[in-house]
A and B are shown apart, each in its own frame.
Chain A
Amino acid sequence: MSNDTNLETRGPATSEPTGPERTRGGFCVQPPVDILESADELLLVADLPGVAANEVNINFEDGELTIHGPVRGTADQTKRFLLREYGVADYLRSFRVSEQIDASRIHAEHRDGVLMVHLPKVEALKPRRIQVAVG
């Protein structure tokens, strides 16, 4: 089963990804993800705290899946920090997805700052159990 792996990350963690640049400046961080596989689909789970459900952008183009989550934060410069352990930045991460995924049926849900993207496999690739008819 693990030989079917067809997701690949691009670029090092926590840096501006390579490839086309975004028009808007500012930092982006790569969110931590889990990628799981079942018989029917690949499941991508990403932590996107601070991103509203209706503002998550999931784009699938030329075999590349991109998730982008803008964070609406107040300007940090004006705050008098007593403790500062993380910076607020938009989330951006890309994965190369093989043609084994049925792009038209990709769907996602977002709850409590966790994004789940379901990537269904194309029908032909699903393992099938063949029943032997007893004659």
Chain B
Amino acid sequence: MNLRRTNGGLAFGQLRDEMDKLFEDFFGPASALQRTVGQRTFPALNVWEDGDRLLAEAELPGVRREDLEIAVVGNEVTLKGKRSVEHATGLTFHRRERGTGEFARTVKLPVAVDPDKVEASLQDGVLHLVLPKAEAAKPRKINVKTS
């Protein structure tokens, strides 16, 4: 036996579970949902502005197209889906760092986007979103009339 349990091993995981349980007892079971896939808020998101549109990326390794649901309402984007186990069952785990299960996350954008023009693509486990700003949210150049 020469497997070393460093950080990320059992002790930390147990401690985290205990802490989560404590928080859950105190604040209610909201955090239980987020814990199903990994321990952090999932998926992690990068959102940036590019002129008249917002671009967003999320890392979703192992999530299939058909298992992902994207909803845009006003300025809220919801990502919902699940990650299933891709290997055969009945194997012995020596190390388990990847989470599986269902996730759901809603983020509020600073501006409203046009839900009809949202484009999404999933490539190599990364979701790319193009979110054109709603007409009302676009900046307008105002010409000053000269008299």
Contacts and interface: CB of A to CB of B under 8 A. Distances in A.
- For the complex of A and B, 7 pairs with smallest distance between CB atoms: A113-B125, A49-B125, A113-B61, A32-B97, A36-B91, A49-B59, A35-B95
A124 B110 CA distance: 62
A112 B97 contact: no
Given A5-B1, A8-B3, A81-B46, A112 B62 contact: yes
Contacts of A112: 61-64, 122, 124-125
Contacts of A81: 46-48
A113 B68 CA distance: 15
Interface residues of B, number: 43
Contacts of A53: 124
Contact of B93 (A3, A35, A47, A113): A35
Interface of A: 1-3, 5-9, 12-13, 32-38, 42-43, 45, 47-53, 79-86, 98, 112-114, 116
A3 B3 CA distance: 9
A5 B46 contact: no
A113 B87 contact: no
Nearest to A44: B95
B124 A36 contact: no
B107 interface: yes
A84 B46 CA distance: 5
A50 B1 CA distance: 35
Interface in B42-60: 44-50, 54, 56, 59-60
